[in-house]
Amino acid sequence: MKPTAPPIPTIVPLLVGMLAISFAPILVRFSDAPVSIQGMYRMLFTFLLMLPFAVKSMPAVRRLTLKDWWLLFWAGFFLALHFILWMASLSYTSIASSTILLSLEPVFVMVGTFLIFKDRASRLAIIGMVIALAGAIIVGSGDMSVSREAVFGDLLSFLGTVAVAVNMLIAKQILTRVPAFLYSLIVFFFTFLCFLAYNLAMGIELTGYPRKEWIVFLLLAVIPTVFGHLVFNWLMQYVKATTISMSVLAEPIGASLLGMLIFGEMVTGMQLFGGAFIIYGLFLYLRAERADTGSAAKMELAAAPDLAPSGPPPLSKEG
């Protein structure tokens, strides 16, 4: 059973996480280093920051099977693929288009769960998926009038979103038996190794970057990763997963506003129109997911009446 409430008001870590992940595309734009170098050091620095807190996870490491290690490796591989495709997209298309398309991740996860786990989606979830995909087409068609480069950037972001959805599907399989912190620690390390192998194979310089770049690498690890994704992971022990999913929808909005303020990238009418479709479609999907989760819980309770609470509920400490 989840703890009743976090030690601080829920809205505080939610706002911190939403603001933090919005800075990811901004920091990528500030760097002149190859995106594979940015991703490599982002993962390395995040791993090193997490390592001192991994002592409690050591017993769980010994229980990992060969299959677990294999799944963790592929999770790291697809996370690296996501980063390299999405970060590269920011060199070709706008921050708004790239992050709007990235928010399609839940749609691809839904499709993957149907194809792999045979999980059937409700009619409302399917309607939400169709609306969100229509929004992606609107954003892409709007960028066609800008340049071919913008469309290529949209394609990279789209493929990067597919890659992170595969990463999430792998996580769905392994997080039932591996603690979330340990999962993140190992996957981040494998992601770093994938970036390292890629950079060595492509002959990309690993060092020799100016001080500004090292600051950006560290900030990418600290702000969007530690204060963003890891804060969301911590918060999931107190709130529903759908609450976290809804908060991630703030990334395209926050990133677009920051792009306007910092880089002067104005959001076009087609981006606003398509983005509204995507966000509304995802809202419908997450609403359907929450309803399905509630129905499943009621069915489980009905199937096991002996688990139902009897008598009056316990008094709270405040009472």
Q: What is the pLDDT of residues 127-156, one digit of tens each?
A: 887 887 787 777 766 666 667 888 898 899
Could you give the C-alpha distances from 5 to 45, 238, 246, 312, in angstroms and in order? 30, 6, 19, 21
Q: What are residue 31's phi and psi, to 5 degrees?
A: -90, 140
88 within a domain of the structure (yes/no): yes
Domain total for the chain? Answer: 1
The C-alpha atoms of residue 222 and residue 271 are separated, in whole angstroms, by 29
Query: How is 49-103 classified by DSSP, letter by letter?
Result: HHGGG-GGGHHHHHT--HHHHHHHHHHHHHHHHHHHHHHHHTTTS-HHHHHHHHT
What is the chain's percent helix, strand, coil content, to nearest 5? Answer: 75, 0, 25
Q: What is the pLDDT of residues 270-319, one digit of tens each?
A: 878 887 887 788 778 767 766 665 555 554 444 444 434 433 333 333 34
Q: How many residues in the chain?
A: 319
Q: What is the pLDDT of residues 2-21, one digit of tens each?
A: 556 677 887 788 888 888 98
309 within a domain of the structure (yes/no): no
Please answer whether residues 88 and 35 qualify as being in contact, where contact means their C-beta atoms are separated by less than 8 angstroms.
Answer: yes
123 within a domain of the structure (yes/no): yes
The C-alpha atoms of residue 135 and residue 19 are separated, in whole angstroms, by 24
Out of 63-67, 255-259, 264-268, give the one with best mean pLDDT: 63-67
299 within a domain of the structure (yes/no): yes
279 within a domain of the structure (yes/no): yes
Query: How is 149-190 classified by DSSP, letter by letter?
Result: HHHHHHHHHHHHHHHHHHHHHHHHHHTTTS-HHHHHHHHHHH
Confidence class for position 174, pLDDT limits 50, 70, 90: confident
140 within a domain of the structure (yes/no): yes
**Helix, coil or strand: residue 241:** helix
By percentage, how much of the chain surpasses pLDDT 90?
A: 32
Could you give the C-alpha distances from 209 to 31, 78, 218, 222, in angstroms and in order? 10, 26, 13, 19
Is 70 exceeded by the pLDDT of residue 221? yes
Q: What are residue 11's phi and psi, to 5 degrees?
A: -60, -30
Which residues span the domain enclosing 243? 24-303
The C-alpha atoms of residue 191 and residue 80 are separated, in whole angstroms, by 5
113 within a domain of the structure (yes/no): yes
The neighbour count for residue 281, using CB atoms within 10 Å, is 25
311 within a domain of the structure (yes/no): no
Could you give the C-alpha distances from 66 to 55, 63, 77, 273, 280, in angstroms and in order? 21, 10, 17, 47, 41
Q: What is the pLDDT of residues 105-117, one digit of tens each?
A: 777 777 787 777 7
